[in-house]
Amino acid sequence: MTGKILVTTRSFRKLDGPHQQILRDAGYEIVNSPYARRATADELAELVGDVEAVIMGLDECTAPVIAHAEKLKVISRYGIGIDNVDLSAATAAGIVVTNTPGANALAVAEHTFALMLAIARSVPLQDRHVHADDFAPISGVELYESTLGLIGMGRIGREVALRAAAFGMRILYYDPFPPPDDLLTQTGAESREVRDLLAESDFVSLHAPLTDESHHLINAATMAVMKPTAYLINTARGGLVDEAALYTALRDGQIAGAAFDVFAEEPPTGNPLLTLDNFIATPHSGSATRQTTLRMGLMAAQNALMVLRGERPPHVVNPQVYERDQH
């Protein structure tokens, strides 16, 4: 055996395929996390001591974890977001951090639409009513000719825009980095500042990264400009939304409903949002498809192996680590 690679992400572990085989073929021992959930910092610190790579989900990879990882050369994120990784500590330790942009875009875009349709037509609530022998229909709203506001027009936001155009929706977007002109031509998407987008939209869908600047981007003040008939969809990061303010807005009818795949604390045990009929939740499963697992898993495995071979992978999150090695 060449060395050990720790795998913490559950879907990578559960589905056998080329993403695991290429690690074995390279001579590495795959060490699976013993946890059926994301590991805490203390738990992860106990697992990283003798591994050369980690293929990681949303586990807490803090500076103390990295300090325990004496042999670690690469943290290969199975996914896009790196808000749970201490990039400064990783860079200082000479550890390359990679991610898998685009691998989950189709799955998350489709999940976004599943949530949008479900909240627009109260699908989960109506299902519960039918199971309880209540066959009275609940009136919903159509997506056709309604306005969708996209906050974030990266890979996932663009896939959502394409699907929204097929549904006959008017599309607004906010992103400091404009999308390609051909996408704008194809979808008819129009640029807006965040406040104007919120005021005009019937559906608002979040596709932005979580940063210090975007934390609680959706809060009491920003929701105050939304239509009382508007719906909020979040398949990005829970920290983008002030959940306490959202609970108040939903309870008081300030907005019509919300559908979330992500939460500030996961699992959202005891979260008051889960008591509301106009709130739909899924367990951070936007990318949980067989196709995405294979696609994202193979990309994450390839990223890890490239670093271990001394090569530079295409999706490095902390390029400063290479500048550090040159000094």
What is the tens place of the pLDDT at every residue in 235-272? 999 999 999 999 999 999 999 999 999 999 999 999 99
Alpha helices in the chain (DSSP H): 10-14, 18-25, 41-47, 63-68, 87-92, 105-120, 123-131, 155-166, 181-187, 194-200, 220-223, 243-251, 290-308, 320-326
Give the up-direction half-sphere exposure of residue 219: CA atoms within 13 A in the CB hemisphere.
6
Spatial contact of 19 and 294, defined as CB atoms under 8 Å apart: yes
Vertex 36 angle, CA 31 and 37, to 5°:
105
Mean pLDDT of the chain: 96
Q: Domains in the chain, start-ordered, CATH in brackets?
A: 3-103+290-326 (3.40.50.720), 105-281 (3.40.50.720)
Catalytic residue among 163, 170, 237, 295, which?
237
- Higher-pLDDT residue of 190 and 325 is 190
Q: What does the DSSP assignment read for 231-248?
A: EEEE-S-GGGB-HHHHHH
- Residue 284 bears catalytic tag: yes
For 192-241, write each residue's pLDDT tens digit: 999 999 999 999 999 999 999 999 999 999 999 999 999 999 999 999 99
Split at pLDDT 50, 70, 90, the class of 324 is low
Catalytic residue among 77, 284, 295, 315, which?
284
Catalytic residue among 43, 110, 190, 266, which?
266
Q: Summarize the confidence of residues 149-170 as an average pLDDT.
A: 98
Q: Summarize the confidence of residues 25-32 as an average pLDDT.
A: 97
- Residue 237 bears catalytic tag: yes
151: DSSP letter: E
**Predicted pLDDT of residue 81:** 87
* Cβ-proximal residues to 194 (8 Å cutoff; 6+ apart), any chain: 151, 174, 217, 222
Residues recorded for the chain: 327
Cα gap 45→8, rounded to integer Å: 12
End-to-end CA distance of the chain: 32
Tell me the residue type at 182.
Answer: D
Confidence check: pLDDT of 1 > 80? no
**Predicted pLDDT of residue 323:** 86
